Amino acid sequence: MSEKQILIADDDQDLLELLSMRCQQLGLAVVVADNAMDALSTADVCAPEIALLDVRMPGGNGISVSEMMATDERLSQTSVIVMTGDPNEKVQQRCQEMGAQLVKKDQQIWTRLEPMLKELIAQESTDDATPPTEPEGEESLLSMLQEWGWLDDATSSTAERDQDAGTPWVLAIDDDPDFSIGLQKRLLSVGVRLVRAYRGMDGYRSAFQQRPAAILLDYQMPDGNGEYILRRLKESSATDSVPVIVVTGMRDASLKRRMMAAGASEFLTKPVSWDQLKRALLQYTDLDLRSKIVPQELVGSS
């Protein structure tokens, strides 16, 4: 079962960071926004199980965001907690009408908020979409991968390994297992590890754990399309300088222009050959992509 996701929307950055940390300690996956429009767009993309919304934010307020979410079939199932420094009668009434919980913003906010969140976490779990599984018979993919120029060396049978701090790695945010299999094998043949995320926001969070050499980003995938994920990556100082190579099956000139304008280093259309991807990685990273003996810690026992 995947962890539940919470959207925290507040323009008080100190409080936002504190609540994010506390919610992560409860086992929640956190996404944040600091204004009403970003809160609504993030909710639309992520469909979080829980939303923690400040009443007063730039561009609107948390109650309006909550009301708009309630009109959406997907978001109407989100449990909403409204935060305010002034829990007056009108605010209480609107929260009651929406079925939202209300918590006062002050120095004791977490004391009141924590039991609310624990109760929501303990409620019946929302079934998460199961990540695509790789085919049991990889041989069925060989002819396609060979045609695309991915499989032609002895290292192609090696499985994905645990991350090693000294090994260069590339993050692939892509829900296409066929593409990931070939990519994993090719990168491993040059001593580069592949970390895979099948969902948009999972990939976004992975980029913060340790800086990847590059990010390969699909456009159409669950939990955040590529355009939204790219914007989030480029807005953060932790990931804004990581080269992002868009790899998508969409042949759309306007999409390419938008992604490049948003900060993508390259835009490639599937099916992508290894030579195409290798050229892009060599251009935008310091990776040494010459064939080499694969480090033993990556290979393990076959």
**What is the pLDDT at residue 52?**
95
The three-class DSSP label of residue 147 is helix
Same domain, 186 and 111: no
Task: Classify residue 174: in a domain, yes or no.
Answer: yes
Pairing, β 56-57 against β 60-61: antiparallel
- Domain end marker among 94, 122, 150: 122
The three-class DSSP label of residue 178 is helix
Same domain, 99 and 227: no
Task: Classify residue 127: in a domain, yes or no.
Answer: no
175 near 198, Cβ under 8 Å?
yes
Same domain, 75 and 40: yes
Most distant CA pair in the chain, distance? 71
What's the order of all strands across the beta sheet hosting 169-173?
Answer: 193-197, 169-173, 214-217, 244-248, 266-269
The three-class DSSP label of residue 227 is helix
Task: Classify residue 271: in a domain, yes or no.
Answer: yes
Q: What is the DSSP letter of 103?
A: E
Task: Classify residue 247: in a domain, yes or no.
Answer: yes
Task: Classify residue 290: in a domain, yes or no.
Answer: yes
Same domain, 106 and 246: no
- Domain end marker among 122, 157, 174: 122
Element (H, E) at 269: strand 266-269
Average pLDDT per consecutive 10 residues, the chain (302 residues; last block may be shorter)? 83 89 92 88 88 87 83 84 89 83 90 91 58 46 53 38 64 85 84 87 77 92 82 84 94 92 95 91 91 50 33
Same domain, 155 and 61: no
Peptide bond preceding 177: is omega within 30 degrees of 0, i.e. cis?
A: no
The total of structural domains in the chain comes to 2
Tell me the CA end-to-end span of the chain in Å, nearest whole number: 29
Same domain, 189 and 288: yes
Task: Classify residue 53: in a domain, yes or no.
Answer: yes
CA–CA dist 207, 186 (Å, integer): 21
Same domain, 147 and 261: yes
Half-sphere exposure of 169 (CA within 13 A, CB side): 21
- Domain end marker among 122, 154, 188: 122
Q: What one-character-per-residue DSSP string does 59-99 give?
A: TEEHHHHHHHHHTSTTGGGSEEEEEES---HHHHHHHHHHT
Task: Classify residue 131: in a domain, yes or no.
Answer: no
Same domain, 157 and 221: yes
Same domain, 146 and 266: yes
Task: Classify residue 278: in a domain, yes or no.
Answer: yes
Same domain, 110 and 162: no
CA–CA dist 135, 251 (Å, integer): 27
Domain that holds residue 192: 139-299
Q: What pTM was computed for the model?
A: 0.49
Report the CATH number at residue 182. 3.40.50.2300
Return the closest-CA partner of residue 297 out of 153, 181, 161: 161
**What is the pLDDT at residue 299?**
46
Same domain, 290 and 189: yes
Half-sphere exposure of 110 (CA within 13 A, CB side): 12
Same domain, 287 and 185: yes
